[in-house]
Amino acid sequence: MQDMEGTGESKANQTMKASAEATIVNRLGVHARPAHRIVRVAIQFASDIHLSSRMAPIEVDGEYVDSQTNIYRVNAKSIMGLLTLSVTQGAVVHIEAVGPDAEEACQAIKEIIESGLGEE
């Protein structure tokens, strides 16, 4: 294997990081079937993969509060975690991967999300 930038580490041993964003396009958002499709793609990769999304504004004392720090992050290899994101059509999710195949993992997750997750 090739030496990466003179560090003495091979690409297989080096921790790579990648990120991407994808918009949920299917009408019903991420429910059980689409979450299962994301997990099936994610488990093909050695990298740790997480999805995060800004949560919807919440009502406080009759007013809606929208906070930039209201971020929820879950493991893309966990169907229960993905279901707790509660993302709907039009939501933007941030994809983050760390590991030997991080770039490929991010791209694969982005593609499945933007393809509609097997639904209309």
CA distance 63 to 75: 31
Residue 3 has pLDDT above 70, yes or no: no
CA distance 19 to 55: 19
Catalytic residue flag (residue 31): yes
Look at residue 95 and tell me if it is in a domain: yes
Please report, to the nearest 10 degrees, the dihedral formed by the alpha carbons of residues 76, 79, 32, 25 taken in order: -10
Is residue 60 very low, low, confident or very high in pLDDT (cuts 50, 70, 90)? low
CATH of the domain at 23: 3.30.1340.10
Q: Which of 31, 36, 50, 94 is catalytic?
A: 31
Task: Tell me the pLDDT tens digit for each residue of 18-56.
Answer: 999 999 998 888 999 999 999 999 999 999 999 998 765
Task: Tell me the pLDDT tens digit for each residue of 71-117.
Answer: 788 999 999 999 988 888 888 999 999 999 999 999 999 999 999 88
Domain that holds residue 83: 15-114
